[in-house]
Every structure is written in C-alpha cells, then in structure tokens.
C-alpha cells in the first residue's frame, strides 16, 4: 500500500468519533513513491516500515535548513519536505545515514533545472554490454566515454526510509502552511507540541536479493494455505513483427538473411511511473512503429528480396533483459530465427533531441577490425547517407575509434559479430540531461513527432538500399506521400 498523509496538529475540544480522523489526517492524493527493486545480489530503492513512518515536518528550501533536522532540532525523527531544486545525490546521501530522518517528500519543480539531473548511472548497463576485458578492453566501463555525465546513481542506492514525490503544488502548499503555523521556531526557541507531522506508507515485503525473495515466495506457496507473494518479477514481453510473414512455430532457412530493426520500449524513473521516457524510448518507438506501418503499405514491399524484422525490446534499462532473452531464444532455437539469419542490424536510440537536424551513426570499432564486417558496415553507412538525401535530416559518423553507446545491439554482438548501426541524436554524451529523472518528465512536441517518422523511414530504407533493391525508391516515394 502506498499512501502519504499529513497529520495536522490536533486542537483541543470536543468532536464526534467520525470526524476525529478528518481533524487529524489530511490525505495527499497526488504522490509518486520511490519503490524497492532487487537484483541477484542487492536491493535498491526505498520503502517504509510495515505501518508507515511518521516524523515532524521540516521544510528545507536551502542546504543550511538541513542542520536543524540532522543535528539541532529537539523533536526527531523528522520528515523532510525538500524543494525539488535541491534534490541531488549530495543532499540525499546526507539524509540516508542519519537516524534522525524518517522520510522524505520532494516537491515537484517545473521547469526542470537547466543543468540537468539524472538518477541513473554515468555508464548505463555497465558490465552487461559487449565491451569487457576480453573484447575491446579499452572501451570497457565506458572508459573515455561518459555517456550519461549527469548520472548520480541515486536509482541504485538503498534508502532505509520512504521517499515520495509531491506532484500537486496545492498539497505542497498545505504542508508548508501547517509547518509555518506549528513547527517554525519562535523568538529563538524550539516549537512546542502540538506539532505538524507527516506519515509516509510504502512498505514492501521484498528484501535482500532476487534469489532470497524468490525463495521466500516459493516457501510461502509450498507450505501456506493463503500464500503471500513477497516479490513480483519484472515481467513483460518483447514485441516483434516482420514485413514478410514468418511462421512463428517454424524455422527460417539458415541461408536466408534479413534486416533486424530494433529499439527499446521501457524507461525507468526514480519515482514510480512519473517520467514518460520521451527521449529515452518513446521517440525511437514512435519512429520505428511509423516506419513499420509505412513500409508495410508501400507498393512493392512484398517483392523485396530481404525480410525486415521489427523488434521492440522490453526491460533494456535493467541489464538488457529484453534483447538478452531474444538472443538466448535464438541460440536455443526457441525462436523462428537464428543469429545467422541476421544480415544487418539497425537500432534507433535516443533520437528526439537532435541539434541542427543531425543524427549520428554509431558502429563497433572492434568488430570492424574484421575486413568482411568492416566492408559490410561501410556499405551500410553509405546507404544511410544516401537515404537521408532530401529528408531534411543529415547523418554523420562520430569517428572510427569511438565505441557503441549503451544499446541492444551490444547484446547481439556479444554472441555474434554482426554489421550494424545505432542511430542517435548524440555524438558522445547523451543530449538528454534528465535521463530516468522521474521528477520532471521530458516531452516531445508534435513537430518532433512528425520528424520522428521520417527518421525511422530513412533508417530502414537505408538498409534496404544496402541490399541494392530497385524498389527502395518506390518505397521512399510512398513514405513521402504518407507523411506529407
């Protein structure tokens, strides 16, 4: 159960039983919690005690206001109401290790700080991509390429108290008024009871690690009549479709090669379900979906010599879960395709925040040391450049010595050396300064949405040109007609 309550100071006087709770509690309805997540070895995120955590409200509007709650105030534990502009790793780590703090409520801030903020890692999915001590060690651990320089890593910390985002400015104002009326020191002396307090309830039974939690759930299911599930898996589905029909219960001939066009579906925010991931995933999802729809309707698409598989991966934020599962199924022959059937790989990464209508074509410098792979990649790059002519978008290479950004393509490269390109709006570090922030969601304007469709089209059509099919021009003309 996730709940935030404001405990107003109780005035003396008679009242009926039905109205006591209303006189004491003011529910906060527009809130978003930080939740507990587990991996194979650790727990991250936030949670409250079983019955919720309560503390005297202390409003923090600048860093010096923290001293009262952390050391000076006579009425611990304190529940901090933090101005959203102060939400940073430095502040939260000061709160994390202090027993005088029982919880944190963060006031939403709009617009987002110009300097950017990301609770993600500076090197997303570090250790789960293709680069390691055995493959491109000079690029492992994002050496020389801090893809997310604004990353603070807060999403991967374990906080022992609940943290909520207050999304309604009116509710935030009510809390501040209660604080000023009852909790502000008067004439240099500490305030006396009654005081204004807050209760945050976000208890989750999950603890320790995925292995421990799944074992506890299994024991509950085995020995309890009414088992209590203490943790749920991050369960979802990859979505894939092809230009030409593929028998999902059959197998594609090993000699038949196709084009895999992919992107991710998911994003992750510090506060649950707050950030829509417009830059991280929605933009590329819309672009690839539009490309699939237009190519399917294009004249002559059925006569193309190579099939196109459109794949939308779920769970890429967490160690490339979606692409890892597809690779595993291909290797175990539980998927209609094998890795040998992939002739080229195109991935749309972050594409919504382009500067000067430029997209960057990222490739893997390690696999390109193989002459055959390098030749195919060069042809693919040339096809993408040619297909961008007249689209209003130019494509460029960031440099042969630069590694791939975090991408699903890396997971496929771990199993097989494939020619492929990752299209993105950034040459080096992410353009998005609020990756996985979850406090001020990014947005994509209608104008950008229109351009995104063109991006998907030029990418897939570029690969089709790579196989030197004469129908590509007809496909592009259809694309222009359908997109005005």
Percent of the chain residues topping a pLDDT of 70: 84
Q: Which of 215-229, 288-302, 419-433 has the highest mean pLDDT?
A: 419-433
pLDDT class for 435, splitting at 50, 70, 90?
low
Give this prediction's pTM: 0.88
Mean pLDDT of 49-68: 95
Task: Check pLDDT > 80 for residue 307.
Answer: yes
At 2 the pLDDT is 62
Q: Are 150 and 183 in contact (CB under 8 A)?
A: no
Task: Name the range with the highest mean pLDDT among 130-134, 206-210, 385-389.
Answer: 130-134
Domain range 239-482, its CATH number among 3.90.110.10, 3.40.630.10, 3.40.30.10, 3.90.550.10: 3.40.630.10
pLDDT of 61 over the 90 cut:
yes
pLDDT of residue 463 exceeding 80: no
Residue 458 confidence class, pLDDT cut points 50, 70, 90: low
CB 345 within 8 A of CB 408: no
Whether residue 129 is predicted with pLDDT greater than 50 in this model: the reply is yes
Q: Which two tokens mark 352?
A: 């919504």
Q: Distance between CA 475 and CA 259 in Å, rounded?
A: 16
Mean pLDDT, the chain, as a whole number? 85
Q: Delimit the CATH 3.40.630.10 region(s) of the chain.
A: 239-482
* Residue 231: pLDDT band with limits 50, 70, 90: confident
Q: Are 98 and 120 in contact (CB under 8 A)?
A: no
- Asked whether residue 9 carries a pLDDT value surpassing 60, the answer given is no
Q: Please report, rounded to a whole number, the percentage of residues in the chain having pLDDT higher than 90.
A: 56
HEC letters along the chain:
CEEEEEECCCCCCCCCHHHHHHHHEEEECCEEECCCEECCCCEEEECCCCCCEEEEEEEECCHHHHHHHHHHCCCCCEEEEEEHHHCCHHHHHHHHCCCCEEEEEEECCCCCCCCCCECCCCCCCCCCCCCCCCCCHHHHHHCCCCCCCCECCHHHCEECCCEEEECCHHHHHHHHHHHHHHCCCECCECCCCCCCEEEEEECCCCCCCHHHHHHHHHHHHHHCCCCCCCCCCCCCCCEEEECCCCCCCCCCCCCCCEEEEEEECCCCCCCCCCCCCHHHHHHHHHHHHHHHHHHHHCCCHHHCCCCEEEEEECCCCCCCHHHHHHHHHHHCCCCCCCHHHEEEEEEECCCCCCCCCEEEEECCCCHHHCHHHHHHHHHHHHHHHHHCCCCCCEEECCCCCCCCCCCHHHHHHCCCCCCEEEEECCCCCCCCCCCCCCCCCCCCCHHHHHHHHHHHHHHHHHHHHHCCCCCHHHHHHHHHHHCC
Whole-number Å distance between alpha carbons of 314 and 245:
22
CA distance 40 to 344: 33
- pLDDT, tens digit (0-9, with 9 covering 90-100), for 413-426: 999 999 999 999 89
| Termini Cα distance of the chain | 49
Domain with CATH 3.50.30 in the chain: 2-117+152-202
Does the pLDDT of residue 441 top 50, yes or no? no
| pLDDT surpasses 60 at 98 | yes
Tell me the pLDDT band of 479, cut-offs 50, 70 and 90: very low
Burial class (CB in 10 A: 0-12, 13-18, 19+), 134: exposed
Query: What pLDDT, on a 0 to 100 scale, did the predictor assign at position 42?
Result: 92
Q: Is the pLDDT of residue 28 over 50?
A: yes
- CATH number of the 2-117+152-202 domain: 3.50.30
pLDDT-derived band at 200, boundaries 50, 70, 90:
very high
């Amino acid at each position: 159960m996730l709940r935030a309550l404001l405990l107003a100071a109780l005035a003396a006087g008679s009242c009926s039983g039905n109205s006591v709770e209303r006189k004491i509690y003011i529910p906060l309805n527009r809130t978003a919690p930080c939740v507990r997540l587990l991996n194979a070895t650790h727990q991250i995120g936030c949670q409250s005690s079983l019955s919720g955590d309560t503390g005297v409200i202390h409003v923090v509007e600048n860093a010096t206001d923290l001293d009262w709650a952390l050391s000076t105030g006579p009425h611990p534990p304190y529940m901090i109401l933090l101005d959203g502009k102060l939400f940073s790793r430095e502040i939260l780590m000061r709160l994390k290790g202090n027993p005088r703090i029982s919880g944190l409520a963060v006031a939403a801030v709009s617009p987002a700080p110009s300097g950017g903020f990301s609770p993600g890692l500076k090197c997303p999915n570090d250790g789960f991509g293709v680069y390691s001590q055995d493959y491109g060690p000079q690029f492992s651990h994002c050496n020389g390429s801090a893809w997310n320089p604004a990353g603070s890593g807060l999403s991967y910390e374990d906080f022992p108290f609940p943290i909520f985002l207050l999304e309604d400015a009116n509710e935030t104002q009510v809390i501040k008024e209660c604080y000023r009326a009852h909790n502000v020191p008067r004439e240099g002396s500490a305030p006396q009871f009654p005081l204004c307090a807050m209760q945050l309830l976000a208890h989750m039974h999950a603890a320790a690690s995925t292995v421990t939690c799944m074992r506890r759930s299994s024991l509950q299911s085995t020995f309890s009549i009414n088992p209590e599930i203490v943790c749920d898996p991050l369960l979802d589905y990859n979505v894939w479709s092809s230009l030409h029909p593929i028998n999902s219960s059959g197998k594609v001939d090993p000699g038949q090669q196709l084009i895999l066009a992919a992107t991710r579906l998911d994003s992750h925010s510090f506060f649950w379900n707050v950030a829509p991931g417009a830059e991280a995933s929605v933009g590329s999802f819309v672009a690839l979906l539009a490309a699939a729809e237009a190519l399917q309707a294009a004249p002559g698409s059925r006569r193309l010599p190579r099939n196109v598989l459109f794949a939308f991966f779920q769970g890429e934020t967490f160690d490339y879960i979606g692409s890892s599962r597809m690779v595993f199924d291909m290797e175990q022959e539980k998927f209609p395709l094998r890795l040998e059937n992939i002739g080229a790989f195109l991935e749309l990464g972050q594409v919504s925040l382009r500067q000067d209508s430029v997209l960057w074509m990222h490739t893997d410098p390690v696999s390109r040391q193989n002459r055959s792979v390098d030749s195919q990649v060069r042809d693919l790059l040339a096809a993408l450049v040619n297909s961008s002519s007249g689209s209003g978008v130019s494509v460029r290479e960031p440099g042969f010595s630069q590694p791939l950004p975090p991408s699903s393509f890396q997971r496929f490269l771990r199993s097989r050396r494939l020619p492929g390109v990752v299209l993105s709006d950034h040459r080096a570090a992410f353009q998005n300064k609020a990756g996985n922030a979850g406090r001020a969601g990014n947005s994509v304007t209608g104008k950008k949405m229109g351009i995104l469709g063109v991006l998907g089209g030029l990418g897939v059509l570029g690969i089709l040109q790579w196989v030197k099919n004469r129908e590509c021009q007809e496909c592009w003309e259809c694309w222009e007609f359908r997109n005005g």
